[in-house]
Amino acid sequence: MGETMDIANPSEEHAMLREMVRDWTKEHVEPQALRHDREEIFNLPLLRSMGEMGLLGLSAEEKYGGSGLDAAACAIVHEELAASDPGFALAYLAHAMLFVNNLAFNGNEEQKARILPQVCSGEWIGAMAMSEPDVGTDVLGLSTTAVQQDDGTWKINGRKMWITNGCLDDEGTPADVVWVYAKTETDDKGRVQMSTFLVEAGMIGYSVGQKIMDKTGMRASNTAELVFEDCVVPAENLVGSPGESLLHMMANLEAERLTLAAMALGIARRSLEDMNRYAAERTAFRSQIRDFGQMQRYIGESWSKYRAMRAYIYDTAAHMTLGKPGHRLDSDGVKLFCATAAKEIADAAMQVMGGYGYVGEYNVERLWRDAKLLEIGGGTIESHHKNITRDLSKTPDSITR
């Protein structure tokens, strides 16, 4: 019999990547995680420094300063970061997946040659702006508009909400470059036609409306409202052709949901690790608490969920080709399952650890708070229910093949 394959490390290159990121995270991310959560501080210098390791352009081509790696590599990095600091991992995801990956697969050669080296190095920090104050899952209901002017430029008006990396500091400095979705027209049936624009810091009319404070979790990432008030964008900053947003949005949403699920796996792994250690250290009635049936239920069920998460995530990654749509059934399914499982495992860890689990310095309280966002951001669990049910009605053989 040949060697069995580790689904989470499908090659030696993947295993080396995991080891590198895990070691770097232990040295640089772990020591700052608690303070940055408590004080709602985004560690911008630390994120920029990831460019030196080629992690900010993980999926971008090497000729633009990226690393040219695959979906499994993206999942590995997000898992390792989130096992220490999910808030920081979310800021990384917004940059590396929502902006860089989007541009790498959907921008034209001029856009990629001009912008990718700057975001892959960390000189620029990117974001993606889709949600609005009154629009979330219903992306076709967005109200931000872009109108082309006589000179070929576009004028954008609207507000975007809940934008990770939307502002870079407490002074309201906006993201260096943002991938912005806007309504440009309606078709003959009255359906919204969306277009995509690259908005850069310094462009007239682009600013931060507010930094959103007092979040339940993910407090180490900055969340902001972005304002576009007669924002003038050059014609060359239109991505693709007018009305093409949905074509590239779908593929990138699938990659986003995979990496959000990988973040859930990191949260679950760390929570399981901490509860397992505590159950051996803590005694009651002259026994380790791991000898008690209820503690065994929490640990045993958490282990089973963690292993199921791990298998589903890396199986989905193995079948996903970045930049190409067609994986929605599993990208929705994996995020649906893993987001809730991570929250449940973190909750079990808090219960096993009792009072110690309820305070910040023991990690799981923070992981528990961070996990909740994964049921909301990047597609609500309700939207996943809808998508999965709709897709299975079209391809019922997906169940048996």
Q: Find residue 206's DSSP bridge partners.
A: 228
* Angstrom distance (rounded) from CA 335 to CA 370: 15
Q: Please report where in the chains the tokens 């973040």 appear, as a residue.
A: 263
Q: Of 225, 256, 344, 365, which one is the catalytic site residue?
A: 256
Q: Find residue 238's DSSP bridge partners.
A: 197
Helices 328-353 + 245-281 axis angle, to 10: 20
- Residue 11 φ then ψ, to 5°: -150, 170
Alpha carbon dihedral 68, 71, 72, 75, in 10-degree steps, equals: 110
Q: Which residues contact 12 (CB under 8 A, 6 or more apart)?
A: none
* Structure token pair of residue 282: 């803590």
Short-list 79, 83, 13, 95, CA closest to 46: 95
* Angstrom distance (rounded) from CA 374 to CA 216: 12
* Structure token pair of residue 106: 């959907």
Q: Is 256 labeled as catalytic in the residue annotation?
A: yes
Q: Find residue 127's DSSP bridge partners.
A: 178
Which residues are known to be catalytic? Answer: 256
